[in-house]
């Protein structure tokens, strides 16, 4: 197994608002290995983006607060580094592609200057060297006439091209980790496919590790090696991507997959839907947060939030029920007697 490049342990993040405390991330742990792509999936508001923004210390403080946890990278805990140390590390060693490139790019600065800026800051290159590298990066991400486009502004690019520019910026300092936060959400399906193929090609060329955050299970199927499924700030299922798609064990993952159209024609007459409403994160769940929407719910599900348990080779779920048999597992019997 390749070495770990990132190890997140028991991460807890809260937001203190006038309405109350938002329990955004609730004890999330995961590892990222060199050269792999890890998918983090779940519906809007489940905590997947906040998890990675917390790791990079990009959540606004206040109202956000990282209450607990570790994020180990290169022998250092990112959550304990100084602001100056984090400012250097972001972009140089860990880069992030955000969801909307139009709001992430500076509208009054040329694309060339924006791509060159991280290199001038972190690599100590000259302006001429940075411009040459920026041109190479634009060619790498598939933008034609790269030498001329360096002097264009963001509004002169299409949505797909702007996202390619964001990828070029993220790659400018050859980071060890690339975090992609739903980078294809605002794009049509054809451009989405092009961006995904581009990221896969660059990953294979450069050997970097990637964390891909999305609510689109279809994208993850062809991109990631491992998947973490999040719900209400918790990881509820984690496994190899083939295992999650071929043999899901958590009711939420099963419901998500059931809502997708299938190319083999099965269930083509009607797509499934998940009944109920997303959880209220102002309320700390002392029970399973998926209980109000779960068809397998039992009495213990309303009393205790299940921990992750193994159901196979590196396949873990947070559920008191064996969904294949539709019965409580032994761990639930023990917990109910405690």
Residues of the chain whose pLDDT is less than 50? none
Give phi and psi for 301, each to the nearest 5: -65, -30
pTM given for the model: 0.87
Query: Alpha-carbon distance 252 to 319, whole Å?
Result: 10
The answer for residues whose C-beta is within 8 angstroms of residue 108's C-beta and 6 or more apart is 153
pLDDT in the model for residue 55: 93
Nearest to 97 by CA among 193, 198, 6, 171: 171
**Residue listed under structure tokens 């607990």:** 68
pLDDT in the model for residue 16: 94
pLDDT in the model for residue 271: 67
pLDDT in the model for residue 198: 80
**Residue listed under structure tokens 């309320």:** 283
Compute how many other C-beta atoms are within 10 angstroms of the C-beta atom of residue 175: 22
Give phi and psi for 236, each to the nearest 5: -105, -20
The alpha-helical segments, DSSP class H, found in the chain are 48-55, 83-92, 101-104, 111-122, 127-140, 146-149, 159-171, 189-206, 217-221, 241-246, 251-258, 330-337
pLDDT in the model for residue 268: 53
Q: Kindly tell me the burial class for residue 225, based on how many C-beta atoms sit within 10 Å of its own C-beta (0-12, 13-18, 19 or more).
A: middle
């Amino acid at each position: 197994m390749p070495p770990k490049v990132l190890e997140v342990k028991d991460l807890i993040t809260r937001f203190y608002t006038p309405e109350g405390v938002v329990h955004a991330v609730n004890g999330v742990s995961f590892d990222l290995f060199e050269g792999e792509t890890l998918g983090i999936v779940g519906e809007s508001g489940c905590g997947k983006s906040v998890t990675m923004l917390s790791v990079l210390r990009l959540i606004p403080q206040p109202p956000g607060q990282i209450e607990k946890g570790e994020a180990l990278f290169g022998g250092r805990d990112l959550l304990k580094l100084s602001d100056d140390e984090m400012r250097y590390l972001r972009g140089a060693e860990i880069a992030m592609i955000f969801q909307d490139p139009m709001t992430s790019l500076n509208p009054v600065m040329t694309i060339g200057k924006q791509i060159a800026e991280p290199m001038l800051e972190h690599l100590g290159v000259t302006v001429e060297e940075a411009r040459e590298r920026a041109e190479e990066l634009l060619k790498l991400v598939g933008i034609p006439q790269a030498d001329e486009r360096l002097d264009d502004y963001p509004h002169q690019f299409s949505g797909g091209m702007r996202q390619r520019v964001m990828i070029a910026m993220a790659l400018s300092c050859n980071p060890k980790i690339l975090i992609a936060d739903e980078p294809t959400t605002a794009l049509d399906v054809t451009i989405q496919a092009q961006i995904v193929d581009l990221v896969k090609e660059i990953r294979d060329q450069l050997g970097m590790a990637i964390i891909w955050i999305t609510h689109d299970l279809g994208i993850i199927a062809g991109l990631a090696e491992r998947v973490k499924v999040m719900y209400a700030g918790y990881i509820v299922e984690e496994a190899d991507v083939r295992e999650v798609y071929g043999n899901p064990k958590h009711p939420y993952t099963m419901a998500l997959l059931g809502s997708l159209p299938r190319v083999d024609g099965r269930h083509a007459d009607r797509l499934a839907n998940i009944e109920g409403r997303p959880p209220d994160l102002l309320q700390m769940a002392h029970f399973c947060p998926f209980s109000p929407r779960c068809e397998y719910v039992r009495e213990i599900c309303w009393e205790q939030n299940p921990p992750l348990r193994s159901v196979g080779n590196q396949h873990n779920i947070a559920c008191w029920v064996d969904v294949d048999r539709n019965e409580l597992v032994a761990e639930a019997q023990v917990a109910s007697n405690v």
